[in-house]
Structure 1
Amino acid sequence: MRVDDASPVHRMLGALGRFCARRPRTVLAVWLLLAVTLVGAAAVLGRPVDNDVALPGSDAQQARDLLDRTGSGGGTGGQLVLRVDDGRLDDPARRDALARVTREVADVRHVTGVDGVSAAAGTLSPDGRTGWVTVRLDVSPRQVDRALARAVTDAAAPAGAAGIEVTPGGVLASAAERGGSRDSELVGLAVAALVLLLAFGGLVAAAVPLVTALFTLACAVSAVGLAGHLVAVPSVAGTLATMVGLGVGIDYALFLVTRHRRLLAEGVPPAEAVARSVAGSGSAVVFAGGTVVVALGGLAVAGVPILGTLGWTTGLVVVVAVAGAVTLLPALLALLGHRIDRLRIRRRRPAPPPATGTGTDGDPDADSGAGPDGDIGAGAGAGRTTGWTRQADRVTRRPWRWALLAVLLLGALAAPALDLRLGQVDAGDEPVGTAGRTSYDRLAAGFGPGVNGPLTVVAELTPPAGSGADPRVTGLTARVAGTAGVARVTPVRLADDGRTVALTAYPRTAPSDPATAALVRTLRTADVPGVAVHVGGATATRVDLADRVGARMPWVIAVVVGLSTVLLYAAFRAPVVAVKAAVMNLVSIGAAYGVLTAVFAWGWGVGLTGLSGPVPVESYLPMMLFALLFGLSMDYEVFLLTAVQESWRATGDNRVAVREGLAGTGRVITSAALIMVTVFAGFVLQDDPVIKMFGLGMAVAVAVDATVVRGLLVPATMALLGRANWWRPGRRSRVGARLAGPSS
Structure 2
Amino acid sequence: MNLGFTGRIARTAAARPWVTISVWLVAVVAAVIAAGGLGDALTQDDRLLVTTDSERAAAIDERLRGSDDATVTETVVVTATDARFGDPAFTAVIDDLVAGLEAAPGVLDVTAPTADQPVPVAEDGRSALVSATVDPGNDPTPVAQAIQDATDAATADGFALHNVGDATTELAFGELAEDTLARGELIGIAVALVILVVVFGALVAAGLPLLVAVVSIVTAVGATAIIGQAFELSFFIVNMITMMGLALGIDYSLVAVQRFREELAHGRTVRDAVAITGSTANRAVLFSGVTVLISLLGLLLVPSTIMRSLGTGAILVAIMSIVSALTLLPAVLRLLGHRVNRGRVPTAHPGREPRAWTAIARTVTARPAVSAIAGLGVLLALALPLASIRLAFPGLESLPADNELRQGVEVLVDDYGLGQSSTFIAIEGAGGARGAVAELADAVEADPAYAETTVDWRGGTAFVDTRDVYDAADPAAADALHRLRDDLVPAALDGTGAEAFVGGGQADAVDFTSVIVDHTPLVIAMVLGASFLLLLVAFRSLAIPLTAIALNVISAAAAFGLLVGVFQLGWGADLLGFAQVDAIAPWIPLFLFAVLFGLSMDYHVFLISRIKERHDATGDTRDAVVFGLSRTGSLITGAALIMVAVFLGFALGDLAEFQQMGFGLAAAVIIDATVVRTILVPSLMTLLGRHNWTLPSWLGWLPRLSVEGPAPEAPREKELVGV
Task: State TM-score, norm by structure 1.
Answer: 0.85
Distance 1:570 1:620 in 2: 32
Partner of 2:160: 165
| 1:521 aligns to 2:482 (yes or no) | yes
Give the secondary-structure state (helix, strand or coil) at the position aligned to 1:617: coil
Which residues of 2 match residues 399-548 of structure 1 at below 5 A? Answer: 399-447=368-416, 451-463=419-431, 471=435, 474-489=438-453, 491-495=454-458, 498-524=459-485, 525-526=488-489, 527-529=491-493, 530=496, 531-548=498-515
Return the offset for 1:274. 2.5
Partner of 2:62: 68
- CA, structure 1 residues 150+67, in 2 after alignment: closer, same or farther (shift >3 Å)? same
Distance 1:122 1:620 in 2: 41
| 1:390 aligns to 2:359 (yes or no) | yes
Partner of 2:689: 722
| 1:572 aligns to 2:568 (yes or no) | no
Partner of 2:271: 271
- CA, structure 1 residues 655+261, in 2 after alignment: closer, same or farther (shift >3 Å)? closer
- 1:20/1:327 contact within 8 Å kept: yes
- CA, structure 1 residues 428+233, in 2 after alignment: closer, same or farther (shift >3 Å)? farther
Distance 1:91 1:85 in 2: 12
Distance 2:400 2:79 in 1: 20
| 1:25 aligns to 2:25 (yes or no) | no
- CA, structure 1 residues 312+114, in 2 after alignment: closer, same or farther (shift >3 Å)? farther
Distance 1:275 1:647 in 2: 19
- 2:34/2:223 contact within 8 Å kept: no
Return the offset for 1:705. 0.7
Provide, for residues 477-507 of structure 1, a one-character-per-residue CA deviation record: whole Å limited to 9, x for no partner: 4343232211323x54444xx2444354212
Partner of 1:150: 145
Partner of 2:171: 175
Distance 2:442 2:103 in 1: 39
Return the offset for 1:125. 5.0
Return the offset for 1:545. 1.6
Give the secondary-structure state (helix, strand or coil) at the position aligned to 2:179: coil
| 1:255 aligns to 2:223 (yes or no) | no
Deviates more, 1:122-131 or 1:700-709: 122-131
Distance 2:120 2:441 in 1: 20
Distance 1:309 1:506 in 2: 32
- 2:47/2:304 contact within 8 Å kept: no
- CA, structure 1 residues 227+540, in 2 after alignment: closer, same or farther (shift >3 Å)? farther
- 1:428/1:441 contact within 8 Å kept: no
- 2:80/2:160 contact within 8 Å kept: yes
Return the offset for 1:164. 4.4
Partner of 1:611: 578
Give the secondary-structure state (helix, strand or coil) at the position aligned to 1:616: coil
Q: Which amino acid aligns with 1:194?
A: V
Give the secondary-structure state (helix, strand or coil) at the position aligned to 1:28: helix
Q: Which amino acid aligns with 1:674?
A: L
Give the secondary-structure state (helix, strand or coil) at the position aligned to 2:44: coil
Q: Which amino acid aligns with 1:72?
A: G
Answer 1 or 2: which has greater helix percent.
Answer: 2
Distance 2:638 2:319 in 1: 22
Q: Which amino acid aligns with 1:540?
A: A
Distance 1:165 1:464 in 2: 51
Return the offset for 1:455. 2.0
Q: Which amino acid aligns with 1:406?
A: G
Q: Which amino acid aligns with 1:144?
A: P
Return the offset for 1:264. 2.5
Return the offset for 1:732. 11
| 1:82 aligns to 2:49 (yes or no) | no
Deviates more, 1:556-565 or 1:70-79: 70-79
Distance 1:396 1:171 in 2: 59
Distance 2:641 2:484 in 1: 50
- CA, structure 1 residues 228+625, in 2 after alignment: closer, same or farther (shift >3 Å)? same
Return the offset for 1:90. 7.3
Q: List gaps (5 residues or longer) in structure 2.
A: 712-723
Q: Which amino acid aligns with 1:633?
A: S
Deviates more, 1:502-511 or 1:70-79: 70-79
Q: Which amino acid aligns with 2:364?
A: V
- CA, structure 1 residues 740+78, in 2 after alignment: closer, same or farther (shift >3 Å)? farther
Partner of 2:53: 59
- CA, structure 1 residues 371+587, in 2 after alignment: closer, same or farther (shift >3 Å)? same
Partner of 2:721: none
Q: Which amino acid aligns with 1:596?
A: L
Q: List gaps (5 residues or longer) in structure 1.
A: 349-369, 381-385
Deviates more, 1:277-286 or 1:549-558: 549-558
Distance 1:223 1:71 in 2: 39
- CA, structure 1 residues 398+457, in 2 after alignment: closer, same or farther (shift >3 Å)? same
Give the secondary-structure state (helix, strand or coil) at the position aligned to 1:165: strand
Distance 2:130 2:15 in 1: 64
Distance 1:494 1:99 in 2: 38
- CA, structure 1 residues 139+37, in 2 after alignment: closer, same or farther (shift >3 Å)? farther
Distance 2:46 2:380 in 1: 37
- CA, structure 1 residues 20+532, in 2 after alignment: closer, same or farther (shift >3 Å)? same
Partner of 2:32: 39
Which residues of 2 match residues 366-377 of structure 1 at below 5 A? Answer: 371-372=350-351, 374=352
Deviates more, 1:621-630 or 1:389-398: 389-398
Distance 2:378 2:456 in 1: 58
- 1:225/1:238 contact within 8 Å kept: no
- CA, structure 1 residues 27+683, in 2 after alignment: closer, same or farther (shift >3 Å)? same
Provide, for residues 388-433 of structure 1, a one-character-per-residue CA deviation record: whole Å limited to 9, x for no partner: 2122222222111111110111122111111111111122202232
- 2:455/2:463 contact within 8 Å kept: yes
Partner of 1:324: 324
Distance 1:249 1:180 in 2: 22
Return the offset for 1:72. 1.0
Provide, for residues 19-54 of structure 1, a one-character-per-residue CA deviation record: whole Å limited to 9, x for no partner: 321332332233223222332343465364314333
Partner of 2:199: 199
Distance 1:337 1:26 in 2: 17
Distance 1:42 1:108 in 2: 29
Give the secondary-structure state (helix, strand or coil) at the position aligned to 1:510: coil
Aligned-residue CA RMSD (Å): 3.3
Q: Which amino acid aligns with 1:59?
A: D
Partner of 2:298: 298
| 1:661 aligns to 2:657 (yes or no) | no
Give the secondary-structure state (helix, strand or coil) at the position aligned to 1:166: strand
Return the offset for 1:554. 2.5
Partner of 1:710: 677
Provide, for residues 208-267 of structure 1, a one-character-per-residue CA deviation record: whole Å limited to 9, x for no partner: 111221122122234435655544433433222211111111111111111122222334
Q: Which amino acid aligns with 2:24?
A: W
Partner of 1:562: 529
Q: Which amino acid aligns with 1:433?
A: D
Partner of 1:383: none
- 2:300/2:312 contact within 8 Å kept: no
Q: Which amino acid aligns with 1:258?
A: Q
Distance 1:117 1:231 in 2: 44
- CA, structure 1 residues 148+578, in 2 after alignment: closer, same or farther (shift >3 Å)? same
Give the secondary-structure state (helix, strand or coil) at the position aligned to 1:619: coil
| 1:641 aligns to 2:641 (yes or no) | no
Q: Which amino acid aligns with 2:375?
A: A
Distance 2:368 2:93 in 1: 76
Provide, for residues 675-733 of structure 1, a one-character-per-residue CA deviation record: whole Å limited to 9, x for no partner: 22222122221221111111111111111111111111111112222222222111799
Q: Which amino acid aligns with 1:520?
A: L
Return the offset for 1:201. 1.5
- 1:216/1:249 contact within 8 Å kept: yes
- 1:280/1:743 contact within 8 Å kept: yes
Give the secondary-structure state (helix, strand or coil) at the position aligned to 1:70: helix
- CA, structure 1 residues 346+662, in 2 after alignment: closer, same or farther (shift >3 Å)? closer
